[in-house]
Structure 1
Amino acid sequence: MFNLVIFGPPGAGKGTQSEKIIEKYQLAHISTGDMFRMHISNDTELGQKVKQILADGLLVPDSVTIEMLEDEVSRNPDAKGFIFDGFPRTVPQAEALDAFLKGKGYKIDLVLQLDVNQEVITERIAERQKISGRADDDASKLIKRIDEYFSKTIHVLPYYQNQDKVVKINGIGKINDIFENISNAIDTSMA
């Protein structure tokens, strides 16, 4: 089983590249953002809580996120591996993910860091907002989301760097060129 984390700020291209990784490597995709949106659209109790937290531009508490993620992994027992998109966002989440995977006899094999500057992020999300209308892409919330990433989430990288699992990928350029670099990193890690 091969497990990877795709890491980067909002608008870095995690969703776009995840789709290509899934197609090529047949990994199960676990996107915390998609899980949250599903709960919100189904108006579950969890969805109502998450909706307010996201509307405020904050991160969902670790305990809620981890519970949803563990449930999602357990529902895919025959997966060749997982791509974790939008998780972990804190060091405690990374530690909880490692402990959970270890309990199942798995580990995180690779962390892909999509490196994109703030100017490009802002442009991409503005374009995405025109198309998708996602509430979390609203300009006022975007600033909070980017701040959350650079003030909190970025601190997860040293956790994985200390395990020699991080490969930095230039996230600016043509989608297929970026994906070629990602594929090279995955293939090297799988070898």
Structure 2
Amino acid sequence: MRIVLVGPPGAGKGTQAAFLAKNLSIPHISTGDLFRANISQNTELGLRAKSFMDDGKLVPDEITVGMAKDRMQQPDAAGGFLLDGFPRNVSQAEALDAMLKDAGMKLDAVLDLEVAEDEVVKRIAGRRICRNDSAHVFHETYTPPKVPGVCDTCGGELYQRSDDSEATVRTRLEVYHTQTEPIIDYYKAQGLLVTISALGEVKDVTRRAMDALKK
């Protein structure tokens, strides 16, 4: 299957992408991984992307599309893939359609993880990270530490990352609504959109997604 995963920040796309890709035996292709891989390997696209990033500028769509195209042409993606974070806007969605058409392929579904804005803010703004080890993550509501502000694992101080503040989260949501949300209507018009609730336990959301994709 060839699937695009969409949803606002905090919807759990990364978590669900990993589970779905494993269940469907297809590679999980995320924008973040594409950028890290190309930059670390000093590819032409990676070097071009880094030059924009170092200047604090947005990476042009053509570079992101080029990275995605190269990745989707690798042998492990021949039988399908799950795209996470790409396409990010309608222009990229149109480029993806053209790319797949040229290769004699098409998308099978676009899975939209739906979650209310207030829930997104609650999920992200409540997150607390251990200063000693960023792998130790807690949540004020869902997975609170035994002692407020103290890591259960190592006793380190828990803090809120600056990009997890409510103001920053709402800014990220505004960017999502403006840039990415229009692709939902774009794919809905093509009859590809499948929307599920992203609320509840991870396993329940995964089950919902698998059931929806089977239909």
Do these two structures clear the TM 0.5 threshold for a shared fold by scoring above it?
yes
Q: State whether residues 7 and 113 of structure 1, in contact with CA within 8 Å, keep that contact through their aligned partners in structure 2.
A: yes
**Structure 1 unaligned residues grouped into runs of 5+:** none
Percent of aligned positions that are identical:
38
2:96 aligns to what SS in structure 1? helix
Amino acid paired to 2:191: D
Q: Which residue of 2 aligns with 1:66?
A: 65
Alpha-carbon shift at residue 145 of structure 1 (Å): 2.5
Distance 1:87 1:163, change over 3 A: same
RMSD: 2.7
Task: Count matched residues.
Answer: 183
Select 1:152's aligned residue among 162, 179, 182: 179
The equivalences for 1:71-110 within 5 A come to 71-76=70-75, 79-110=78-109
Q: Which residue of 2 aligns with 1:173?
A: 200
Q: Which has the larger share of helix?
A: 1
Alpha-carbon shift at residue 16 of structure 1 (Å): 0.5
Q: Which residue of 2 aligns with 1:26?
A: 25
Amino acid paired to 1:20: F
Q: Deviations over 1:62-110 (max 9, x none)?
A: 1111011011111235532010101111111111101101111111110
Give the Cα–Cα distance (whole angstroms) in 1 for the partners of residues 210 and 174 of structure 2: 29
Q: Which residue of 2 aligns with 1:4?
A: 3
Amino acid paired to 2:64: T
Q: Which residue of 2 aligns with 1:16?
A: 15
Q: Which residue of 2 aligns with 1:112?
A: 111
1:152 aligns to what SS in structure 2? helix
Distance 1:128 1:109, change over 3 A: farther
**Structure 2 unaligned residues grouped into runs of 5+:** 138-160
* Higher RCO (Cα < 8 Å, 6 or more apart): 1
TM-score between both structures, scaled by the size of structure 2: 0.74
Give the Cα–Cα distance (whole angstroms) in 1 for the partners of residues 195 and 23 of structure 2: 20
